[in-house]
Structure 1
Amino acid sequence: MARPTVREIAAEAGVSIATVSRVMTGKAPVAPETQELVHQAVERLGVRARRPVREGAIFVRCPYVLTDYFGIIVSSIAETLDLHHRRLVLNAGEAAQQTPALQNLSRDPAVAGAILILPPEPDEELRSLRSQGFPFVVVDPRTTLPADIASVSAAHSTGARSVTAHLTALGHRRIGFIGGPTEWLSSQARLVGHTSALADVGVLPEPDLLRSVEPTTEQGYRAAVSLLDQRPTALVGFNDKIAVGALRAAHERGLRVPADLSITGFDDSDISRSTTPELTTVRQPLEEMGRIAVSLLLRLIDRHTVDALHIELGTHLVKRASTAAVSQVSL
């Protein structure tokens, strides 16, 4: 069994390498509480070293239909696991939401770790799984996770701020916002980004211009129909599907996009390039999210020291034909 290095002990204890050396050699005085931190770190690292590295497959849970957003992430995870010669066990589809999948994971000798994509399970189940020492990574968590649960997501707030700032730069001030479910972390973060961009130009968000729906085309359509009664000059969709629904609502109302109404999406999925006009949207690095999730999980399985457990990846605003300067007529 390899002994932990001074660097590993220092990282585990949260002290400097020099402090660890002083504790180990006893050649210089160190506060008793600091000595205790170092000794506890040595003990923890020793326990981990004695624990065998888990072999076996990687359990990937994505209890949703594997189209667009989810399909890209799962495909990236599968390709990356193949490069590492790890077998994938996939639990997917909406029916999987009704199946308790996490309870026995840590006791399955054939499974080395798990990647959970937008897990619908309550936080208590995730905390319980973590307390069992089972390595797993959450992709795009629904809620704020404890500090010791690894996760990968996009920078939702920054992405939403960029698209609303794009609209305000075009002169828009009455901007309708169609968000996802209010309890989702991504929905909350995107509303923060949207509100921040409005504040930059001295505008407060109006409650009448805010909606929260399931992120589907039909729900986007219904939300847009109600918002258009408020005479916005632009609509911001939680994802590209919602934006497609908004395009339909605008067409039925006889509004030209973008001459009368600008519309934006989020994700940069295939449908964003299949509409007329093509959608201005925010690109999430979905493939990279899958690759990073695998890399982070394998480090956890191999018991490497991981300093950054919560990783946010940058987004990119993609400007297309669905947005334009605000029409003077609409004002």
Structure 2
Amino acid sequence: MARQDQQRLASPATLADVARVAGVDMSTASRVLRGDSAQRVREETRDRIIKVAEELAYRPNSLARGLRTARTYTLGMVVPQLDNPVFAAAIRGAELAATALGYSLLISHREPGATATTIAKLSQTNRVDGLLVASLDDDAVLRTDLAAAQVPFVLMNRVLPGAPLSVVLDSRAAARKAVDHLVGLGHRRIAHLAGRDQGFNAAQRLEGYRDGLAAAGIGFDEALVAIAGYTAEGGAEAMRQLMPQKPTAVLAATLVSAAGAMSELHAAGWRIPQDISVAGLHDAPVARLLYPSLTTVMMPTEEMGRLAATLLVRRLAGEHPVPVPPLPPGALIARASTGPVPR
């Protein structure tokens, strides 16, 4: 273990440590880490202080602050799936940012279609100061629930008309990148396992899929699109629907639905990638463990959680942060699940 790590374990980092490493005075570090917007701090300075606080595992005394200010210094985070790598990464990013800014993070799992009181109970019973919300519910349900919560919120991985702040991924660009890869391998009968019907991200991914087809001069065929949702079971069922269409490649909207599709293809005796190539959006360690390993497009889901938590704390401090553009996808990771079009 490095000497610096040994020292960190021996004595917790202090505010003075954060200020020293970040190259600022303690008052500046304190203002940033408690979300104080009374005095302006340059964005690069703010980011540097937060990064140093994360690296040093700085833990402010939130209990003492809460007693002084009548706040809990706790953020609530609502996610629709706990077993989905996408939300696991978002939780990790939000927790890192919240901790660096002096907040705790409370996770709540809300299945799509659950009662509309889930978010309100989280804010009222647990007295969180603000909410990070990733939801698969319809706009009307989500809007009612957020109004009942009566605390500031930031949406993640979706938009809601009229909501002040959302942090989303550029799913359209990611889907286009995956289709370009499949087209480059010679595929022209490319199917799509779409996300939730009428969902924001599902629509974005479908548009990216269509963008890629159009750029390659391939006509769009509705028969090659099936709704899979965001579960392995949905991916398997959608793949069963598409098999009679004889696609040579398939793009799944998520890593989880791609895994379900691959399981169904194996059961039906289709060889991957000799008979059909499979690609998915989002990357996680499980993509390397599938057989064969899955080609994916990397998405900045951890950064999404970090940015959403940071924006929420700034709102709680009285700031009015401006909306942020969609976060662009990362690289396409070509693995064994994709190959040339069958001859």
Structure 1 residue 99: deviation in Å?
5.8
Pick aligned residue for 2:254 from 239, 255, 261? 239
How much is the aligned-residue C-alpha RMSD, in angstroms? Answer: 2.9
AA matched with 1:172: H
Kindly indicate whether residue 318 of structure 2 is the aligned counterpart of residue 303 of structure 1.
Answer: yes
- Aligned residue number for residue 210 of structure 1: 225
Q: Scaled by the length of structure 2, what TM-score is found?
A: 0.72
SS where residue 235 of structure 1 aligns?
strand
SS where residue 265 of structure 2 aligns?
helix
- Aligned residue number for residue 126 of structure 1: 143
Task: Single out whichever of 105-114 and 203-212 deviates more from structure 2.
Answer: 105-114
Matches within 5 A, 1:82-93: 82-92=99-109
SS where residue 211 of structure 1 aligns?
strand
Structure 1 residue 276: deviation in Å?
1.9
- Aligned residue number for residue 70 of structure 1: 87
Cα separation, partners in 2 of 1:93 and 1:111, compared to 1, 3 Å: closer
Structure 1 residue 80: deviation in Å?
1.9
- Structure 2: give runs of 5+ residues left out of the alignment: 1-36, 41-68
- Aligned residue number for residue 293 of structure 2: 278
AA matched with 2:233: E
Aligned residues, how many? 277
Cα separation, partners in 2 of 1:220 and 1:124, compared to 1, 3 Å: closer
Pick aligned residue for 2:156 from 124, 139, 157? 139
Cα separation, partners in 2 of 1:119 and 1:249, compared to 1, 3 Å: closer
CA contact (8 A) 2:155 2:166 kept: yes
AA matched with 2:271: R
CA contact (8 A) 2:287 2:293 kept: yes
Matches within 5 A, 1:104-253: 110-118=127-135, 120=137, 122-123=139-140, 125-126=142-143, 129=146, 134-141=151-158, 144-253=159-268
CA contact (8 A) 2:116 2:145 kept: no
SS where residue 281 of structure 2 aligns?
coil
Structure 1 residue 168: deviation in Å?
0.9
Structure 1 residue 186: deviation in Å?
0.5
Kindly indicate whether residue 300 of structure 2 is the aligned counterpart of residue 289 of structure 1.
Answer: no
Cα separation, partners in 2 of 1:54 and 1:97, compared to 1, 3 Å: farther
Structure 1 residue 196: deviation in Å?
0.7
For the pair shown, the structure with the greater C-alpha radius of gyration is: 1
Pick aligned residue for 2:339 from 317, 321, 324? 324
Q: What percent identity do the matched residue pairs reach?
A: 28
CA contact (8 A) 2:124 2:149 kept: no
Q: Distance in 1 between matches of 2:232 and 2:268?
A: 17
Q: Scaled by the length of structure 1, what TM-score is found?
A: 0.75
Structure 1 residue 313: deviation in Å?
0.9
Q: Distance in 2 between matches of 1:89 and 1:3?
A: 27
Structure 1 residue 253: deviation in Å?
3.2
Q: Distance in 1 between matches of 2:112 and 2:137?
A: 12
Pick aligned residue for 1:257 from 266, 272, 294? 272
Deviations 1:68-106, CA, capped at 9 Å, x for gaps: 222221232123211111122332254993360344777
AA matched with 1:73: A
AA matched with 1:60: M
- Structure 1: give runs of 5+ residues left out of the alignment: 6-52
Pick aligned residue for 1:55 from 46, 50, 71? 71
SS where residue 229 of structure 1 aligns?
helix
SS where residue 287 of structure 1 aligns?
helix
AA matched with 1:315: P
Q: Distance in 2 between matches of 1:202 and 1:228?
A: 23
